[in-house]
Amino acid sequence: MKVRTGFVSNSSSSSFTLIVPKGMSLEEIKTELVQRLGISDGCFLKDLKEGILKAFIENLSKEDLKESLEEAIRYKFSEENINMLQNAINNDMDFYIGHFNSDGDASEIMLCYSVFDIQEDKFYLIKEEAGY
């Protein structure tokens, strides 16, 4: 039997995908996130706004859409996800993957356990559930 001493982590993580028009800057992505997530001055999330945006932007990684589509097919992703990637390729869009961790600040922890599915106006932000 092995016994572990010292710090033991019980953290969670989750990932998300973001598809936006090709060439959209990080500032433009931030503006879209504020609008699409409904983080206005009158929203209860306004105090977490900067932390939410920071968690999204710092954890983004731009990926190759064609390679991602091939992986999705190889790993038998849902037809909906495969169609979404194919649509992004056909519309010449940029594809990002990101992650959140429950070891982060309050904003990142909240995002780690949140679920959202925004698919509109050539802006796709999908995060289904947290992993452990």
* C-alpha span between 87 and 85 (Å, rounded): 5
State both tokens at 68: 């991602």
pLDDT at 29: 94
On whether residue 101 sits in a domain, the answer given is yes
The per-residue b/e assignment along 90-129, b for 16 or more CB within 10 angstroms, e otherwise, is eeebbbbebbbbbebeebbbbbbeeeeeeeeeebbbbbee
Nearby residues of 105 by Cβ (< 8 Å), 6 or more positions away? 51, 55
pLDDT at 43: 76
Number of domains making up the chain: 1
On whether residue 2 sits in a domain, the answer given is no
On whether residue 3 sits in a domain, the answer given is no
On whether residue 26 sits in a domain, the answer given is yes
pLDDT at 132: 42
**What is the domain range of residue 95?**
13-127
pTM of the model: 0.80
